[in-house]
Structures are given as C-alpha cells and as structure tokens.
Structure 1
Amino acid sequence: MRILIRGAGDLATGIAYRLHKSGFEVIMTETEIPLTVRRTVAFSRAVYEEKAQVEDAIAELINTPGGIDEVLKRGNMPVIVDPKLKYLKEYQADVIVDAILAKKNLGTTIHDAEFVIGVGPGFTAGEDCHVVVETQRGHMLGRVIHEGSAIPNTGIPGVIGGYSIERIIRAVADGLYEPVVQIGDRVEKDEIVAYSGGKPVFALMGGIVRGMLQSEVRVQTGMKCGDIDARCEVEYCYTISDKARAIGGGVLEAIMEYFNKHGRKM
C-alpha cells in the first residue's frame, strides 16, 4: 500500500516514520524552500541536502515521479518538490495524508485518493477528507475524528518545560534570516540568537536551541524561526518528539481501521 504525505516537516516526519516502520510505501511532497524549524528531525531537509536521515530512517530527494520506485527499493522514502500535487496521478497513492499543518486546507479534497486524512485544524471529516487527526497537545492529541474538525488553532504555542510563548524565536524584521547559534546550542535569556533583516533577534528564555531555520531564508516580521527547550536535553533536538509520534499513531490507526473494515490487505 502506497501513502502520500503532503508536507515533510517535523510532525509530518513523525507520521512518515511510523508508517514506514509499519511496512507502508511512503512518499512525501514539499515546497521549494522548506520553512521547517525543527529541521534536524524533518525529512524536508532533503530538499536542500538531497538526503535526510531521522533516527534510523532515510528520505531522498527526487526530481520526478520516475524516481519513486528506485528509492523505495532501497528501503528509503522519496521526497519531491510538488506543493500543488501536479503529479498526483503518477503517485498512485491509496492514501493521502495532508500534514502541511497550515491551519487551513491548501487544496486537498476527499476525492484525491481512496482514503484521505487531514491532520490538524482546517479540515472537516466527511467533507474535504475522510477523517481528521487531532494535533493539539493534551488529552485528545492523536485522536482520530470521524465527524467534525480538530480543535481550532489558538495561536498560543503549547507548553514545554513550563514555557509557551517565550520558547519561540520569531523574526523581528522582514528580510533574510541569519542564525547566530545552531540547533543543540545552549543559550541564555536576552542572548542574540539570529538576525532577521539585519536586526538582532534575542532569546526570550534560556535553554537549548531545539529548532532554527536554515540561513538565508527570507522571513517576515513575527514569523516563527526557532524554538528553545527549557528541558535542556540535547537528545530531544535529534529525535522525533512525543507529539509527532502520537499524531503518527493516530494516522496509523485511521489507516488500519479503514482498510480492515473494507477487507483490504495491508
């Protein structure tokens, strides 16, 4: 069974990892310039590095759908730049998982594949997808929703290590983004961690840099560009998060439930 995942950011990567380890053929699509903050645990990195490894799984960049089978035969996952799904028919996917996490639907329809899953807010089960998987931290994280939508986006980052808004690094001016520190570095409150549009970006708290945009990406004021973790566990910078694994489990559950009900072999 072949599964297409729209998006290859850190949460989409958590989904891809669980499906890949469960024996499914997984293909991922991305934009030309990925804006993944937690890029050390994201297959989107393959777009500008050609290959990306997360834990013990590898994704490879391909230029056309013609390269899919070769990558799958190597036991890896193909990543292709195709944000608008112009190659949809060539993918021959049984399942589409929209894990772009844009907080809105960017074009996925319930008719794109036999089974379509919307991840997070912006989708309605039974309308633009078959089921929705909850992405908000808390009791419902990873829940499969058969009717209705996920919890609306609050605009407030989830609490990690006792911090919420403070842990996010945001651009302070439009222009090119230039990190001063790297993922895995320890920083202190009020330390300069990057420049955006030539202006300094200061850390709002101390901790370990868990996420940071790559250099020379064009950003806008207020855009999320990094993430600081007060727990100060370096391992967390290089392993899939609990949130991503939970969402991946929800997607896996939805797929197994659907195809078992319809008598399809995995």
Structure 2
Amino acid sequence: MTQLDDRNFIVIIKGAGDLASGVAVRLYRCGFRLVMTEIPHPLMVRRTVSFGEAVCDGVTQVEGIQAVRVDDCLQARKIIADGKIPILVDPKAACLNELHPAVLVDAIMAKINTGTKIEDAPLVIALGPGFTAGVDCHAVVETNRGHHLGRVIEHGSAEPDTGQPGEVGGKSTERLLRAPVSGVVEAHAAIGDRVTEGQVVAHVGDAEVRAQTSGVLRGMIRSGVQVDAGTKIGDVDPRAEVSYCFEVSEKSLAIAGGVLEAIFAFQHKK
C-alpha cells in the first residue's frame, strides 16, 4: 500500500449519497485525494449534503467542498489536482482498473454487497450490513445508530438491517416519507421548509404524500424521478433546526471517523 503523501494515493468511494459524502468531507479535510462514483439516476434524499448532486447539476458543494462531474479518469485526476472531488457515473466502478486506488470504500448502503471484492484495493472498507470483514473486505464500519455506531469491525459483520429508521428527535418511522405507489415524484416543498403533520409535501403519480410529523424537511428526492412503491423519498426532522439540512450529520461524521481509523490502522500495521 502506498504512503499517504504519495501522489498516487487515491481513495475511491462507491456511492455519493449523504453518508458517503460525510465520509468524503472528513477524508478531504484530512488531505486525502478522492474519487466518488454514482449511478446515472441517483435516488438521494438528503441532496443538500450529497456530492452525488453533481451527477445532475454538474457541480455541487457540501460544507464548502466542491465536487464536479467528470466523464473519465483523466478528467478525474485533473479535478483532484484542482483541489476538488471528481464524481464519475460508474455503477460498476470500472475506474478501479485505471486509477488503482490505495483504498476503496463501499458506501453504497444497499444493505447487500453489490459486487465489492477484497481484492479490489490494498484496503477495502465497507459501510454497514451485507459485508464480512476478512471475506469481501478488510474492515466494516458499523452504521446502525446506537452504542456501536462508527466502530471498526475487523472480523465479522455489522449489525443486521432492522428495517426501521433510527430515532431522531423522538421520532422514527413517522419522520420518513415513502412513495405510496410507483410513479414519478413531484415535490411540493423544498429542503429546509417547515412542514406540519398532515401537510401534502409531494405527489407520486396521483397519490399524495403527507408529512406524518411536524418539523423541517431535511430531505426530498428530486422531482421527476421515477420510484417504486415504498421507496424513501423524503425525511422530516422533528428537531426543526433548518441549519441541520445543510450540514453533514452526526451519524455521517461518526461513520467517517471509523473509516479514518481503519485507514490509519492499516497504514500503521504495514
């Protein structure tokens, strides 16, 4: 594994949603050179803190850090040299073969392994359930809220997916907005808006989506996106603090701390 100060030391992060972006923010601030990959039509909800927004907008920023969509690995290297984070539309992470990263972080959060292998990089780190440290990655970082959030697992797996969202401001399932049917999303409120319980905040096709609790709309999927019934399309924060909509969450930062620990621990062992 190359050293941290080596110009060829690149970290590839698969996924560019809010948790992946939290990892990217912390690694970027520590001086790491990053490349992030995404799918062509991301289903991100917390878009104001997701570098994956660059897929649609071309350029975006999270907490003052800029990300730029690029078309190939050559452009990615130029964007890194400019002090920004390149975003590649690369669902299969084919860029691994060209960029030869020192570290690969699977932050797709699919709850299953969608193709990551322990041989993909000298150090492979995976977030959450669906992976086994020592089998398909070198380390797993716990993503479930609670006592073990952000812990590095070197043998075994993260806690299984409960299917239940973590509690925020005393609310759990009621803070989420889900598509009642399959169809195209049309949002009627913007991220950062204050909403009240029962308010219609979106339509999916002809079906209404109402807030189940009052608070601030912390996340909302892009209008015009086709979703399946049951897909998470929004998130109401009952704490009602608007600034939280535009800052990396405490959960993301805890997970990012685990990724940093895994990287530095691996370097120390070399």
TM-score normalised over the length of structure 2: 0.96
Instruction: Look up the equivalent residue of 2:218 and give its one-letter code.
Output: R
Cα distance in 1 for partners of 2:99, 2:171 equals 41
Cα distance in 1 for partners of 2:13, 2:95 equals 13
Cα distance in 1 for partners of 2:127, 2:53 equals 21
SS at match of 1:44: helix
Could you list the structure 1 runs, at least 4 aligned residues long, displaced by more than 2 angstroms after superposition.
Answer: none
Query: What corresponds to 1:249 in structure 2?
Result: 257
**What are the equivalent positions in structure 2 for 1:132-151 lying under 5 Å apart?**
132-151=140-159
Cα distance in 2 for partners of 1:171, 1:53 equals 28
Cα distance in 2 for partners of 1:209, 1:92 equals 39
How much identity, in percent, do the aligned residues show? 50
SS at match of 1:250: helix
Instruction: Look up the equivalent residue of 1:223 and give its one-letter code.
Output: T
Indicate which of 13, 18, 21 corresponds to 1:10: 18
* Residues 208-257 of structure 1, C-alpha deviations (whole Å, 9 max, x = no match): 00000001000111110000001010000000000000000000000000
Query: How far 1:49 moved relative to its partner?
Result: 0.5
* Residues 46-74 of structure 1, C-alpha deviations (whole Å, 9 max, x = no match): 00001110002111100111101210111
TM-score normalised over the length of structure 1: 0.97
Query: What corresponds to 1:40 in structure 2?
Result: 48
Cα distance in 2 for partners of 1:90, 1:77 equals 17
Cα distance in 1 for partners of 2:143, 2:95 equals 28
Cα distance in 2 for partners of 1:101, 1:191 equals 29
Instruction: Look up the equivalent residue of 2:121 and give its one-letter code.
Output: A
Indicate which of 235, 241, 244 corresponds to 2:243: 235
8 Å CA contact 1:176, 1:198 repeated in 2? no
SS at match of 2:119: coil
Query: What corresponds to 1:203 in structure 2?
Result: 211
Query: How far 1:13 moved relative to its partner?
Result: 0.2
- Structure 2: state its 5+ residue gaps: 1-8
Q: Are residue 31 (structure 1) and residue 39 (structure 2) matched?
A: yes
Query: How far 1:166 moved relative to its partner?
Result: 0.2
Instruction: Look up the equivalent residue of 1:41 and give its one-letter code.
Output: V
**What are the equivalent positions in structure 2 for 1:1-266 lying under 5 Å apart?**
1-262=9-270
Cα distance in 2 for partners of 1:41, 1:204 equals 23
